[in-house]
Chains A and B, each alone.
Chain A
Amino acid sequence: EDQVTQSPEALRLQEGESSSLNCSYTVSGLRGLFWYRQDPGKGPEFLFTLYSAGEEKEKERLKATLTKKESFLHITAPKPEDSATYLCAAAGFMNYGGSQGNLIFGKGTKLSVKP
C-alpha cells in the first residue's frame, strides 16, 4: 500500500538551531515528492517538488533532498516566522484513488521556533 510517513510529529527549536524533518515514502513508481508549508487555518502553500533521487532544491533557509526511500527538509538557522506545519506528499505512477498524479499526504510535522 502506498503511504507517506513524516517524523517527528512536532519539533521545537530555538531560533538559529538548525534541524531536519523526515518524510519516508512507499510509492510504486515515484512521479514526484512535494513539500508544503501550512499556517493554522490556511491552505497549504507549495514549497518544492523533487523528481529523482539525489535532487536538491533550496529556498531561503529551507533545503529539500530526496533519496529512493525518503526526503528531508533541512532548516538552517530558523526564525520564529518559520513556525508552521510542514507537509510532505508523494505522487506515484501507479494508481492512488484511481489516478496517476494524485497526492498521498503525510500527517505533517508541526515546527515551533522560539526566539
Chain B
Amino acid sequence: DADVTQTPRNRITKTGKRIMLECSQTKGHDRMYWYRQDPGLGLRLIYYSFDVKDINKGEISDGYSVSRQAQAKFSLSLESAIPNQTALYFCATSDFAGPTRDEQFFGPGTRLTVL
C-alpha cells in the first residue's frame, strides 16, 4: 500500500461548488502539506500542519481551507470553486527531526478541473 494516498484522483466540478480533497498517510509523520502545481509556476504551498492542533497558511491560501482530523489525515476544501483553481493538487508529509528530516513524501495527486 502507498504511504501517502489521495482521494479522489480526478475530479471535475462546476463553479461555485464545494469540493473536498482528502489525504491519508501511514508514514507516522507529524507534518503534512497541501500544494498545487500549475504549468510554469511549479509547486506552491497552500497550507501546512505540524500536528492536529497546529495549522498554518502557506503562500496561496485564499479560497482554500483545511482540516487535520488526525495525525494521519489532512483534508483540503475549496468552499466555492472557481476556474482558476483548476490544477494538480498534492499532499505531502515529513518529519521535522531525525535522519530524514524535511524530506517530503508526496501522494499521487488529485487532478481538479473547475468548469
Residues of chain A touching chain B, judged by Cβ–Cβ distance below 8 Å, are 31-32, 34, 36, 41-46, 49, 87, 89, 91, 97-103, 105-108
Known A42-B108, A42-B109, A97-B59; judge A102-B101 contact (CB<8 A). Answer: no
Q: Does B26 lie at the interface of the complex (its beta carbon under 8 Å from any beta carbon of A)? A: no
Residues of chain B touching chain A, judged by Cβ–Cβ distance below 8 Å, are 4, 31, 33, 40-43, 45, 48, 50, 56-59, 88, 90, 92, 94, 96, 100-109, 111
Contact B42 A105 (CB under 8 A): yes
Minimum Cβ distance to chain A for residue B53 (Å): 15
CA distance A105 to B42 in the complex (A): 7
Contact A97 B108 (CB under 8 A): no
Q: Can you name 20 extra interface pairs (CB under 8 A) apart from A41-B111, A43-B106?
A: A32-B101, A32-B102, A32-B103, A43-B107, A43-B108, A43-B109, A44-B106, A46-B103, A46-B104, A49-B103, A97-B56, A98-B57, A100-B96, A101-B31, A102-B33, A102-B58, A105-B42, A105-B43, A106-B42, A108-B42
Known A87-B43, A97-B58, A98-B56; judge A103-B106 contact (CB<8 A). Answer: no
Contact B50 A31 (CB under 8 A): no
